[in-house]
Amino acid sequence: MTQSAEAAAKPEAPPTPPEQPELLKQVAGNQAGMFLVTPGALDDADAHLAHIRELGLDSHILELEVCGYTVVPPEMVAPPEFTARVRDALLRLAEEKTGVKHSLDRNGDTGKYAAFAAGGGFFLIFYLLFEDPVFEEWIENPVLGALVNHTLKGQGRLSSFDALVRWKDASQLDPDVLDHALHSDSPRWPDGNLLDGGNLMTNSAYILTDYTKENGCIAMVPGSHRLGRLPYPGEGLKDMVPVEAPAGSLIFWKGATWHGPGYPKLTDGLRLTMNTTFFNRSLKTVEQFQRAVPKEVLDRRNRQFALLVGADDMTGFGSEGPQPAYLEPYSFF
Ligand SMILES: O=C(O)CCC(=O)C(=O)O
Ligand SMILES: [Fe+2]
């Protein structure tokens, strides 16, 4: 019998497809990270939801999804003593950088600080993580962690950790300055479309002074995150809203959400903000944490900290091969 005649005589029964849950479990258990299914994602959904509920974040997650940003009130974020410690540490750093003593009730002064980012009525302090233990503690904050994990599906890694010090300055009254400041923080293509629609990053502002429109609070454009692109010049201005909130609140927004320093600061004194930005773990971060985080810091911190600072980063190696300081069983690039 020829091969084809044999095949015709004994038709093979089609294999019975395995039941879906078994297949998914097998994939997740075998070579995690190599397949379409994010390992553990399906099993973890209940735990993820329970954790969000435990922290009382249900309505904030809803707001984040619908509006593109949410404001978590101080009592849900951290005790007032923590806010005070962050504020003190930032005022100390402001003095170190500028050589000028700073306090909340006086306007700021760039002094000797010739930072890349200092301008009319503001300066930035970069790379806060190693400046004070209170910043390490912030990376362990459960509310911050839950929002980052939700938004970036557990793949969020700290990209930049900076403070923004702002005060009243004539240049902020120039409508051209603030009106052109609406933007998305996401990496983007030259045509203005955001990478993965802006879903590869997220940003947050832990505010250390009260945010009101008069105090020059941040402006958000609700719903703009659904567009997945930068605004055209002037676009979004009529829809932007001031985000007013008391000191100690956490303003958290998606990478695609249009926002900006939309209102001039009209009052005297500082507007003090701590920003933590997170990227999907496969992106190059703005500031370098990963292997720069000393072992003794990792030893005193928890799993959330290790993952969020990217201590599990396996990339960027040479002939020595990957040498992550912290590795979970299913870690991959
Ligand atoms: O705080 C502000 O006014 C805007 C800051 C901003 O654009 C950012 O943190 O990404
Ligand atoms: Fe921004």
Least confident of 74-78, 112-116, 214-218, 234-238: 112-116
CATH number, domain with residue 136: 2.60.120.620
Cα dihedral 316, 320, 326, 331 sign: positive
Domain range for 289 is 62-308
Q: Which atom of ligand 1 is nearest to the CA of 262?
A: 3
C-alpha of residue 308 to centroid of ligand 2, in Å: 20
Nearest Cα residue to 253 out of 303, 203, 301, 199: 203
Phi, psi dihedrals of residue 124, rounded to the nearest 5°:
-110, 145
In a domain, 11, yes or no: no
* Mutation test residue for ligand 1: of 259, 273, 278, the one with most atoms within 8 Å of CB: 259
Single pTM value for the model: 0.87
- Predicted local distance difference test score (pLDDT) of residue 66: 98
Q: What are the pLDDT digits (tens) for 170-207? A: 888 876 666 678 999 999 999 999 999 999 999 999 99
Whether residue 105 is predicted with pLDDT greater than 50 in this model: the reply is yes
Q: Which atom of ligand 1 is nearest to the CA of 259?
A: 7
Contact 269, 291 (CB under 8 A): no
- Alpha-carbon distance 210 to 262, whole Å? 16
The single-letter DSSP state of residue 7 is H
- Predicted local distance difference test score (pLDDT) of residue 29: 41
Whether residue 248 is predicted with pLDDT greater than 50 in this model: the reply is yes
- Predicted local distance difference test score (pLDDT) of residue 331: 54
In a domain, 7, yes or no: no
Q: Hey, whose CA ends up nearest to atom 8 of ligand 1?
A: 260
What is the token pair recorded at 70?
Answer: 């949410």
* Mutation test residue for ligand 1: of 273, 279, 287, the one with most atoms within 8 Å of CB: 273
Least confident of 42-46, 192-196, 257-261, 326-330: 326-330
Phi-psi region of 154 (alpha: psi -120 to 50; beta: other; left: phi over 0): left
- Entry field: residues in the chain: 333
Q: What is the mean pLDDT of the chain?
A: 88
In a domain, 267, yes or no: yes
In a domain, 262, yes or no: yes
Phi, psi dihedrals of residue 83, rounded to the nearest 5°:
-55, -45
In a domain, 169, yes or no: yes
- Predicted local distance difference test score (pLDDT) of residue 188: 97
* Mutation test residue for ligand 1: of 275, 279, 286, the one with most atoms within 8 Å of CB: 275
Q: What are the pLDDT digits (tens) for 297-320? A: 999 999 999 999 999 898 888 898
What is the token pair recorded at 221?
Answer: 């454009």
In a domain, 4, yes or no: no
- Predicted local distance difference test score (pLDDT) of residue 22: 46
Tally of structural domains, the chain: 1
In a domain, 327, yes or no: no
- Predicted local distance difference test score (pLDDT) of residue 174: 77
Least confident of 80-94, 166-180, 259-273: 166-180
Give Cα separations from 85 to 98, 102, 135, 161 (angstroms): 20, 15, 10, 16
- In 68-105, which residue ranges form alpha helices assigned H by DSSP? 74-77, 80-98
- Provide, rounded to the nearest whole percent, the portion of the chain with pLDDT above 90: 71
Q: Which residues line ligand 1 (CB under 6 A)?
A: 164, 185, 203, 205, 218, 259-261, 273, 275
In a domain, 49, yes or no: no
| Mean pLDDT along residues 153-160 | 94
